[in-house]
Each structure stands twice: as structure tokens, then as C-alpha cells.
Amino acid sequence: MSEQNEQKEKKIQIEMDREKDVEELERVLAVVSEKVPALLNALTDVLYGKEQSKKYAEAVATFYKSLVEAGMDKSQAYELTKDYMANLNIAGAIGKLIKEGKEDEIGEEIEKAVKEKIKEKVRKEREEEK
């Protein structure tokens, strides 16, 4: 077999492998976009259930009380406690999206970002082949 034919076969094989990868990724993304909303709902239940809410309130109250007992002005302690609450409530942003009915948008954004990365990778591989 000539070198030219070998190169053509190699390019064909590379293209077929890419197509298989893209198809597999599409299947994975379909599953992810189906499962992410349910996962987020379950996460919300864990984070905002009765027991977690109680622990969150106790943590915030303890933080504020410690600041005041250490001699900090109540208004300063309040401001720092607000910041502390915002840092503890990372999942609050996710919960807000769920409450607003935007969980589908999260899956769509993930899917869009992954597709863009694939396109970029394929584009780079094609440039390297040239």
C-alpha cells in the first residue's frame, strides 16, 4: 500500500473516531440534561430541609454572638454576619434558580459549554493535520 493511501486511511479513521466521540458525548449530555434538574431538586432538599435550616440558623447565631462577646460593635457584627451568611449560602444561588424554574437553563448552559469545547478541539486537530 502506498504512503498516500495510508495517510488517507489514517485520516478516515481519525474522522470516524471523532464522529464516535461526538455521538458518545451527545448521549452523555442527553443523560446529564435529564438528570441535572432532579439532582438539583434533591440537593435543594438536603440543603434547605428542616434539619439543615436549623443548623444554618445556629451557625449564624453563634457567629454573631461570638463577635459581640468579643467586644465588637453590634452594627459591625451584623455586617460581618451578613457576609458570613452569604458565604455559607453558596447553594442559595442554585436554589434560587430552581425556585425560578430555571433548572433547565443550567443543563442547557452545561451542554452549550461542552459543545463549544468539542468544536474548539476538533478545529485545533484539523489545523494540526494541515
pLDDT value of residue 87: 66
Distance CA 70, CA 63 (A): 11
Q: How confident is the model at residue 4 (pLDDT cuts 50, 70, 90)?
A: confident
Model-wide pTM > 0.75:
no
Are the C-beta atoms of 25 and 110 separated by less than 8 Å?
A: no
Domain with 70, as residue range(s), is 3-129
Are the C-beta atoms of 81 and 67 separated by less than 8 Å?
A: yes
